[in-house]
């Protein structure tokens, strides 16, 4: 793993895990000149196939992503509000058939729709439940996979008997059998334990997810 620090943007740095993934950490806007690092050898950029932009970065200027010719996947945070869409970037995203990963309703989601990119939604936290009697918390998550499948992740967190100890379990479950594209938010929320109902109904990402699923179903009939 290598860390490259920007020469022109204090607090901006790039973590290269030597396996094709680059993680960009920082705050605010990132300009093309900010990608100049203290490492004069920039050949590492050609090996990058996946870029993860961390939360805190709000804008990506023209000439930033274009420096990574072989990028195949782009993970964008909820903090991002603007990404300059140059002709070079459009060509790169199209030529490489880039997969864009972002949350439903985010800038990344809108960018993928606008430019016709393949889109992988971030997991949606459907809800939390706290069991005071057993000192246990459960998180219910809807996950999306690159092959188009979905499943449910159940994360259980428990506090141990001794001080500082903790435990829990992670369970993977298929989508409920009664789920179908086109179901209403009420129908969807009723597929899960009642303790999550209100949280699911108030989640805007769930609303977008169900609307997209219904739209996709209608297109499939045409």
The residue among 120, 136, 152 that closes a domain is: 120
Most confident of 36-45, 125-134, 178-187: 178-187
Q: Tell me the whole-structure pTM to 2 decimals.
A: 0.88
What's the confidence (pLDDT) of residue 162? Answer: 43
Confidence of residue 167 (pLDDT cuts 50, 70, 90): low
Same domain, 104 and 79: yes
Same domain, 92 and 149: no
Same domain, 116 and 163: no
Confidence of residue 163 (pLDDT cuts 50, 70, 90): very low
Arithmetic mean of pLDDT, 63-70: 95
| pLDDT tens per residue across span 75-112 | 999 999 999 999 999 999 999 999 999 999 999 999 99
| pLDDT tens per residue across span 2-11 | 999 999 999 9
What's the confidence (pLDDT) of residue 1? Answer: 87
Confidence of residue 160 (pLDDT cuts 50, 70, 90): low
Same domain, 114 and 9: yes
- Do residues 210 and 188 lie in contact, with contact meaning Cβ atoms separated by under 8 Å? yes
What's the confidence (pLDDT) of residue 159? Answer: 72
Same domain, 72 and 147: no
Same domain, 8 and 76: yes
Residues in the chain: 222
The residue among 88, 103, 120 that closes a domain is: 120
The more confidently predicted of residues 205 and 41 is 205
What's the confidence (pLDDT) of residue 220? Answer: 38
Least confident of 39-43, 54-58, 113-117, 181-185: 39-43
The residue among 68, 93, 120 that closes a domain is: 120
| pLDDT tens per residue across span 105-129 | 999 999 999 999 999 999 999 999 9
Same domain, 87 and 17: yes
Same domain, 97 and 85: yes
What's the confidence (pLDDT) of residue 161? Answer: 46
Residues 6+ apart with CB under 8 A from 27: 11, 12, 56, 57, 58
Q: What total of structural domains would you count in the chain?
A: 2
Domain that holds residue 58: 2-120
What's the confidence (pLDDT) of residue 93? Answer: 96
Same domain, 104 and 199: no
Structure tokens at 84: 């300059």
Same domain, 106 and 131: no
* β-pair type (166-174, 150-159): antiparallel
Same domain, 7 and 91: yes
Same domain, 11 and 115: yes
What's the confidence (pLDDT) of residue 15? Answer: 96
Report the distance separating Cα 49 and Cα 197, nearest Å.
39
């Amino acid at each position: 793993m290598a860390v490259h620090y920007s020469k022109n943007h204090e607090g901006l740095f790039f973590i290269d895990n030597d396996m094709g993934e680059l993680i960009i950490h920082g705050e605010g806007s990132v300009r093309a000149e900010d990608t100049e690092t203290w490492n004069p050898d920039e050949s590492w950029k050609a090996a990058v196939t996946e870029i993860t932009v961390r939360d805190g970065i709000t804008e990506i200027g023209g000439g930033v992503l274009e420096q990574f010719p072989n990028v195949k996947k782009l993970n964008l945070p909820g903090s991002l509000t603007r990404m300059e869409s140059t002709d070079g970037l459009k060509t790169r995203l199209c030529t490489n058939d880039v997969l864009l990963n972002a949350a439903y309703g985010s800038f990344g989601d809108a960018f993928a729709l606008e430019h016709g990119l393949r889109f992988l939604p971030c997991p949606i936290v459907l809800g939390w439940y706290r069991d005071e009697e057993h000192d246990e918390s459960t998180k219910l998550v809807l996950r999306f996979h690159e092959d188009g499948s979905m499943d449910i992740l159940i994360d259980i967190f428990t506090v141990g008997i001794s001080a500082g100890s903790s435990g829990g379990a992670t369970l993977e479950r298929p989508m409920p059998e009664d789920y179908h594209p086109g179901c209403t938010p009420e129908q969807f929320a009723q597929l899960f334990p009642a303790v999550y109902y209100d949280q699911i109904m108030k989640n805007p990402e769930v609303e977008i997810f169900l609307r997209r699923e219904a739209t996709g179903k209608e297109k499939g009939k045409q």
